[in-house]
Structure 1
Amino acid sequence: MAIQLDGSTLTFEEIKQVVYHAEPVELSEAAWKKVEESRTAVERLMAEGKIMYGVNTGFGKFSDTPISEENVENLQLNLIRSHACATGKPFSDTVARTMVLLRANALAKGYSGIRKETLQLLIDCLNHGIHPVVPSQGSLGASGDLAPLAHLALVLIGEGEVMYKGNTLPAEKALQRAGLHSVRLQAKEGLALINGTQAMTSVGVIAYMEAQELADLADGVAALTLEGLQGIVDAFKPESHLVRPYPEQQQVASRILSYMQGSQLTTTQGEIRVQDAYSLRCIPQVHGAIQQVLHYVKEKLLIEINSATDNPLIFADSGNVISGGNFHGQPIAFAMDFLGIAVAEIASISERRIERLVNPQLNDLPAFLSPDPGLQSGLMITQYVAASLVSENKTLAHPSSVDSIPSSANQEDHVSMGTTAARHAYDIVQNSRRVLGIEAICAAQAADIRGKERLSPFSKRLHANIRSVVPVITEDRVFSKDIENIAQAMKKEQWLKQVLESEKISKN
């Protein structure tokens, strides 16, 4: 059964089903009714000669320039062509597919004045696997994601490029192969397609979902590291966390304590040392704070994916046409900057645990976990790589939302840079996954040296998952491949399920 869009109730689970599993979508009957009422209102108001921004006026600084009735359709065509000037590497198919879905959902709210046939074509493209090729750079994140969304809109008029069945094709050719037909945009429709926050929000949704999986996985990898370093369990006992009552901190401490249950490698205070370094002892405080940020980001994204971010908005019931600013991406810009900062800390504390695993001055393991220290360097340089990625994250985590450059002759004089923030957050997630992958490799090797049979039941499962993609290190090899293999494995749904499913009891 197809997932129904109504503009108000789309969930992350439904996005996953559509984006990753090609679940078909359709508009609900109530949504179609609102779409048609909105379109009827546009046509009635045009017939009455009402001045409406972007319908019978120019755009931006040209908002006071009237457009004659015979040029209304050309206005929309010119808008799409002129605004399709984004540059840089294209967004991934995953992000592009999410953009189509989120734009369709926003239009389904029924405040944009789009025709039924135009919106239906957008949905048909999604259901047939036709994804626009959208360059990733060029949005200011206010007046909507104009440039990226213009590349999406090109597809509906048979222009631009798309990905279809694994090939890059001209849009018109892909539409024909799928049995679809391009449309000629009418009044308001071009603006309805490009005035919104769906580029930044789509990148943000994918970045958030990957970040949440990474943060959950980080608890398990940290537990394996604790066993490899004979970590002290006392810091994870509930007493100290109850007196600083952050729920997320308490949950992380509880999870990690449960992961180490049954281990023969962990220690207690004073058994080997009195207390561990911060990167081990403070995992609940740091990982818990990261979970707090993820909760905030999820809340903002859920609001945004079910919002009308068009301009002007058409209110069919009252007949009002309101030129406002729902296209302004400030809420998402802040959320994406916050997401990037939080995920950068996943990598930052992970890199410090990597150092404790490989540095012979900080543990009693073979230097750099080498099978033959001196002759073979072992995992020495993997820490360099982690340090490099963490350093890069610090640059990427510089907030984009505090920047603004005026545009359209100062008519649009404050912008969010939300799409840049989202792109940076996404890049930080990719870097951090590789850092966590390096920690997993080092922790698994330490466990092999200590005796993997002495691991807790949870850590044995995680260790086996790591070893399914990264063999035990018996001699030096090209570790670049191991890092990429573990990073890719961490993105796979089945691999994650094997690890994270065992976390559900302790997470609930």
Structure 2
Amino acid sequence: MIELSGDSLTIDQLKRICIEQEQITISKTSMEKVRESRLAVDNIVANKEIVYGITTGFGKFSDVMIEAKDVEDLQLYLIRSHACGVGNPFEEKVSRAMMVLRLNALLKGFSGVRPVLVELLADLVNERIHPVIPEQGSLGASGDLAPLAHLALVMIGEGKVFNEKGEAVDAASVLSKKQLQPIVLQAKEGLALINGTQAMVAVGVMNYIEAEKLAYDSEWIAALTMEGLQGIIDAFHPAVHEVRGYPQQVAVAKRMTAWLEGSQLITHQGEKRVQDAYSLRCIPQVHGATWQALDYVKEKLEIEANAATDNPLIFDGGKLVISGGNFHGQPIAIAMDFLKIAIAELANISERRVERLVNPQLNDLPAFLSAQPGLQSGAMIMQYAAASLVSENKTLAHPASVDSIPSSANQEDHVSMGTIGSRHARLIINNTRRVLAIECICALQAVESTGIDKMAGKLKEKWEAYRKVVPTISEDRIFSTDIEEVASLLNVKKGDYATDLQLDIT
């Protein structure tokens, strides 16, 4: 059970809640802040004060005054009108993350919602009632309005949720089955539910979790390639990396050396060649730079996961109500674009290692790792597939955050497109996982030529585990199946967030 307070949610906790399906509880102190904030909103309505989104319309309609008798309708119409997301739904774990993140933001006590709304949101998480939320339709400023509106629909008994089979069903029937009562939104509550960056952050958190594991996996796969190509281990000597000064680079070199410990397949300078190509020699530098980006992304995601992103924000018991722009997703938009580039580079360098594994002009292995070169093509077209995925990544890596289209009659004249960046990062991660799967398949085959009995102990364990899923290439077969099987093994699963080496080496 993880307690949410609005101030201390971590990516590790989000892993436990969203992937392990751990339940949550609410901090009593934070709930008291929620009550105090709600009293301030009630006073604003009672005193007929002019406050954006409470007694006025929204966006360009901020100058339209709303009568007290119409406050409930204002919030209802807001949710219905803004629920215009399109496309495929987000994965259930992303939908769950969105609820947790929005709940955590409301618990900070600056949004003015009633405790009953907070409690219902917590119940939805604990009962595993996950809204069906279309992926597309957010500009990433004024909050992730469209996606969060679909989340809010469920809370008022409308919209769709996933059932146990992953099918979209009416939310009202599921709420009734679970004996949960939909709420009637009061002043500001609809706005409080949709003003925020929780869609881009939810996708971003899942991206980070998967990218972190992928970065660790890329190291043992690269080490396996080193054995298949009898690479030179001297390039990983700690002295080389310490004099440059990047701790992430030093750490990658240290982990690479640990993976290769005891190997009789790796070589030293001058034994087989004087130096390796960059895709082998520069693994710590390139992979280390990806880890630098991951560290940056993690920091920004954890800040945003505990941020008040509402508008307006209520301070000092309602004495200070400020209409600002914390819903603007630019910090996460830039972080996601950074992540896109960083993960795309893991695929870029991996594909170059694949080329070295299959090209007979670059190694001493059977041409294209084929059992019968000429008659059988072996891994030739797997390299094509990797090259295709890498090229697609380059297009997806174009930054979303540099784009902006004005909305709401130019009232909202600069937006972040952060949710687009998050979604594209997810596509790049999926593509990169498959590129690494291709490298893994080729490296598994290569070490059979150089000598399985001479492998490093840790890598021999990997070889044995993956050979249970992907057999030796004794003749051509439908390699698409192998690629997807290995990619599935590399994906994040319950209780499996990174390789065992992450725990062994700090």
Aligned counterpart, 1:441: 441
State TM-score, norm by structure 1: 0.98
CA distance in 1: counterparts of 2:408 and 2:128, whole angstroms:
35
* 2:19–2:493 Cα contact (<8 Å) kept: no
User: Helix, strand or coil for the counterpart of 1:21?
Assistant: coil
Tell me which amino acid in the other structure corresponds to 2:155.
L
Aligned counterpart, 1:37: 36
Percent identical among aligned pairs is 60
Unpaired runs of 5+ in structure 2?
A: none
Structure 1 residue 123 and structure 2 residue 122: aligned? yes
Tell me which amino acid in the other structure corresponds to 1:290.
T
Cα deviation, residue 318, structure 1: 5.5
CA distance in 2: counterparts of 1:191 and 1:287, whole angstroms:
42
Aligned counterpart, 2:304: 304
CA distance in 2: counterparts of 1:478 and 1:436, whole angstroms:
18
User: Helix, strand or coil for the counterpart of 1:308?
Assistant: coil
CA distance in 1: counterparts of 2:311 and 2:217, whole angstroms:
41
Cα deviation, residue 258, structure 1: 1.6
Aligned counterpart, 2:345: 345
Q: Against the structure 1 CA distance between its residues 496 and 274, is the aligned structure 2 distance closer, same or farther, given a 3 Å change threshold?
A: farther
CA distance in 2: counterparts of 1:59 and 1:407, whole angstroms:
12
Cα deviation, residue 432, structure 1: 0.3
Aligned counterpart, 1:470: 470
Tell me which amino acid in the other structure corresponds to 2:2.
I
Unpaired runs of 5+ in structure 1?
A: none
Cα offsets for 1:22-70 (capped at 9, x unmatched): 2111211001100010001100121122111111100000000001111
* 1:131–1:163 Cα contact (<8 Å) kept: yes
Aligned counterpart, 1:395: 395
Structure 1 residue 379 and structure 2 residue 379: aligned? yes
* 1:228–1:443 Cα contact (<8 Å) kept: yes
Aligned counterpart, 1:85: 84
CA distance in 1: counterparts of 2:21 and 2:289, whole angstroms:
34
CA distance in 1: counterparts of 2:318 and 2:194, whole angstroms:
24
Cα deviation, residue 450, structure 1: 1.6
* 2:340–2:428 Cα contact (<8 Å) kept: yes
CA distance in 2: counterparts of 1:452 and 1:81, whole angstroms:
62
CA distance in 1: counterparts of 2:20 and 2:208, whole angstroms:
18
* 2:143–2:329 Cα contact (<8 Å) kept: yes
* 1:332–1:418 Cα contact (<8 Å) kept: yes
Tell me which amino acid in the other structure corresponds to 2:19.
Y
In the TM superposition, 1:268-347 aligns within 5 A as 268-317=268-317, 319-347=319-347
Aligned counterpart, 1:200: 200
State TM-score, norm by structure 2: 0.98
CA distance in 1: counterparts of 2:102 and 2:269, whole angstroms:
55
Give the superposed CA RMSD. 1.2
Aligned counterpart, 2:7: 8
Aligned counterpart, 1:480: 480
Tell me which amino acid in the other structure corresponds to 1:8.
D
Tell me which amino acid in the other structure corresponds to 2:104.
N
User: Helix, strand or coil for the counterpart of 2:209?
Assistant: helix
User: Helix, strand or coil for the counterpart of 1:493?
Assistant: coil
Q: Against the structure 1 CA distance between its residues 483 and 190, is the aligned structure 2 distance closer, same or farther, given a 3 Å change threshold?
A: same
CA distance in 1: counterparts of 2:73 and 2:337, whole angstroms:
39
* 1:469–1:489 Cα contact (<8 Å) kept: no
Q: Against the structure 1 CA distance between its residues 395 and 134, is the aligned structure 2 distance closer, same or farther, given a 3 Å change threshold?
A: same
User: Helix, strand or coil for the counterpart of 1:337?
Assistant: helix
Q: Against the structure 1 CA distance between its residues 503 and 127, is the aligned structure 2 distance closer, same or farther, given a 3 Å change threshold?
A: closer
Aligned counterpart, 2:429: 429
Cα deviation, residue 341, structure 1: 0.3
Tell me which amino acid in the other structure corresponds to 1:18.
I
* 2:40–2:318 Cα contact (<8 Å) kept: no
Cα deviation, residue 14, structure 1: 1.2
Tell me which amino acid in the other structure corresponds to 2:35.
E
Q: Against the structure 1 CA distance between its residues 495 and 58, is the aligned structure 2 distance closer, same or farther, given a 3 Å change threshold?
A: closer
Cα offsets for 1:347-379 (capped at 9, x unmatched): 000000000000111001001101111111111
Matched positions, count: 505
Cα deviation, residue 109, structure 1: 0.7
Cα deviation, residue 118, structure 1: 1.3
Q: Against the structure 1 CA distance between its residues 137 and 94, is the aligned structure 2 distance closer, same or farther, given a 3 Å change threshold?
A: same
**Which 4+ runs in 1 deviate beyond 3 A?**
492-497
